[in-house]
């Protein structure tokens, strides 16, 4: 967790400020409810720990490709 704010709060704040940058959650919060919440808030992907670095890189490439980055 980040000090003072979790990833959900950060993404809420970014979206409220009109920032529509791609967002990938990389987290230990692995419940179905957390995954749905992260994606519903505007996350482009949601990866839980433990994870494969190769998988995360592949997922980042997909997110960037979809966003035109």
d(CA 32, CA 3): 24
pTM metric for this prediction = 0.88
Domains in the chain (CATH in brackets) are: 7-67 (3.40.50.2300)
d(CA 12, CA 43): 10
- pLDDT tens per residue, range 4-56: 899 999 999 999 999 999 999 999 999 999 999 999 999 999 999 999 999 99
């Amino acid at each position: 967790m980040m000090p003072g704010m979790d990833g959900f709060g950060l993404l809420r704040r970014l979206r409220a400020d009109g920032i529509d940058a791609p967002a990938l959650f990389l987290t230990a919060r692995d419940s179905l409810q957390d995954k749905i919440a992260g994606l519903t808030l505007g996350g482009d992907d949601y990866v839980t720990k433990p994870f494969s670095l190769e998988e995360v890189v592949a997922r980042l490439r997909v997110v960037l490709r979809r966003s035109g980055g």
